[in-house]
Structure 1
Amino acid sequence: MTEPLSFVHPTPESPWGTYLMQVDRVAPYLGHLSRWIDTLKRPKRALIVDIPVELDDGTIAHYEGYRVQHNLSRGPGKGGVRYHPDVTLEEVMALSAWMSIKNAAVNLPYGGAKGGIRIDPKKHSIKELERITRRYTSEIGIIIGPQQDIPAPDVNTNAQIMAWMMDTYSMNTGATATGVVTGKPIHLGGSLGRVKATGRGVFVTGREAARRINLDLQGARVAVQGFGNVGSAAAELFGQAGAKIVAAQDHTGTIYNANGFDLSELMPHVKATGGVGGFKGAEVMGNEEFWDVDCEILIPAALEGQITADRARRVKAKMVLEGANGPTVPSADDILADRGILVVPDVICNAGGVTVSYFEWVQDFSSFFWTEDEINVRLDKIMVGALKRIWEVADQHHITLRTATFTVSCERILQARVERGLYP
């Protein structure tokens, strides 16, 4: 057993602490591979960069940025970049580790990576964000690349941010490199279906899980926390399947309608105002009341650590679909399991985004692009197959879907580590 990382002191319910507990739970099911388990507890590489920029008013500001590559045994690093005032090295480490698990869960030829800048993008102009993005890309350029580490959008980043990243990397290397990032604008090598891919993956895994537990989606009540790309896309697809979206929460507030929202009115409202708050087709709820809503399906699609032990005791859903990364702390996980509430974990539930990012990367290399129907069919097939394998392992060992997903993924990662061997 090696010493813990000296620069991080996680608590049991911090992001990195949560991840470590999840790995420990897998050890009994890894057999001869368990001797390599510390490989999963240490990121391969963590880069901290200073980002100096000139703001619009002429002042010079400095921001801290990160890029962490957790594991590269199965291929180049893959994971998003988030802009958020609460970004820390420990959070990015955990997110990169979850990307390792997620990529292996759907059997993509990637390792796990993640990046972030501690910044509130709402306080900056478009020009300032462009300068910040370009400087950050230049600073992490020493470890990213189409065959090294491929960033993508995450919280508060989008196709425009990816276009700036691609352009900066391309200018610094002297050749256009569309494959250095995914989630780009379509006309710069982006993929059709990418924007809604994560939400579509949440729906596909939710649909399959509902079949397993004999839950009819027709008339099923759904509560969604986070109504950005992921939450709104999932809500739309569940609505099309006959479910009712009865509660929604984001940074603008919490709304409720027992009969279900009219999504044809809610979606334009969110697009126009930036959130669900103020929507006239619903009543306002207190933010904490969201966790008491009567529903069959709960979709946390915001930030990590949202379902605490206290909230887990109050959840009334039959099924939790984790659209966000790490939304459920380990103690809450145990409570939900004890209460018989099925949790489809983030590392498979929201893997639709990285799967279509993989499709984009493949299309960029071949310069041959697929239709959206082709992409959705391929995505559906991969997600259904991955969940089927995970459920088999869960049934075999009588463990939760989360532990089963980690078991499948850790086996794949550590087998690659064994076969590659140690250098030198």
Structure 2
Amino acid sequence: VIVNPNQPDCGFPSKHLAGVGVVFYVLLALRAELRRRGVFDAQSQPKLDNLLDLVALGTVADVVKLDANNRILVAQGIKRMRAGRMHAGVAALFRVAGREARNASPFDLGFAVGPRLNAAGRLEDMALGIECLTTDDEGRAWAIAQQLNEINLKRREIEADMQDTALLHLDDFQPAASSTIAVFDEGWHQGVIGIVASRLKEKFYRPTITFAPGGVGLIKGSGRSIPGFHMRDALDLVSKRVPGLIDKFGGHAMAAGLTIKAEHFDTFCEAFEAVGRAWLSEAQLERVVETDGPLEDEFYSTQFIELCDGQVWGQGFAPPVFCDEFRVMSQRILKDKHLKLLLEKNGRRYDAIWFGHTDGLGERARVAFRLDANEYNGVTKVQLLVEHAEPA
């Protein structure tokens, strides 16, 4: 039996379930069937709601669209985490990441818990991550979480080095003259190329594929895309136009993987770029920051932030981003890579930070931002997390 909500004629309304969601519904159906056969009654049946923390984690970490159904699954899982009712491994991963499970959010699952689990599969053996989630022994869970944290630190170091190398490869890259990016380096690690592709895609806003050595005479690529460019379909077209060029490929609209012979790299770059030119207009290669417009002064408050944080935001259901004009009172660079700002509007001043950016702003700036509650020395203040800024 194949259970897949995307099969033709499947009446299940939610088509964006992650694998973990599909399995959860299979278990619900199995339990109902066993109940019907008299194996147990409603009182003695297995409790499945205690799996919801894993369902939420898998749904967020798999970056599937948070449609109404997935938001319910994630909300229920997060509710359990905040109440302290979660698997020992999930609790240990929160602790090792320095995050508070009582304030759990989809952001924590996607950027703190998920990457630590995934690092095992990228660099070593995924069995470690699986044991972390399935053990009931808190001591064992904590020991594995610390191991996973170490592997993740190693993954971040490898990623930073690879990113620096990638930028050297792209030193003379002219975005205006190219619709796509494809980069290969002999020294790269297969397990991390997808993350590097993702970072380059963010920086240059082009469909990007990064390649690493993949066995004798082969290289493996991992691609990340932008809206309007279906990565898997693009690879399919390349393989049809140049038969034999791609050994194997697979994926979906926003991410895909492939294997080619090392000697075919240049040919692949040309064929991939040709598809990019045919499919993407200049307008599609311009990054668009969608915002909810300006925010009235009284909503720059921790209470409003709490209200927003109570919702489940994520893929396909983005958190609100506001946009307004501010006077730039001061700006300095933090840790060589982040811009710390003091902004002023209508006589009120706000701390702001623009992660990963060091270019200064002029006296006045148009800023797209999210609201964040920053706790320091027991005092909670409103902080603006800058998504984009430009001179006003």
Q: Could you say whether these structures have the same fold, taking a TM-score greater than 0.5 normalized by the shorter chain as the test?
A: no
Greater RCO (Cα-Cα under 8 Å, separation 6 or more): 1
Which has the higher Rg, Structure 1 or Structure 2? 2
TM-score (norm 2): 0.29
Of Structure 1 and Structure 2, which has the larger fraction of its residues in strand? 2
TM-score (norm 1): 0.27
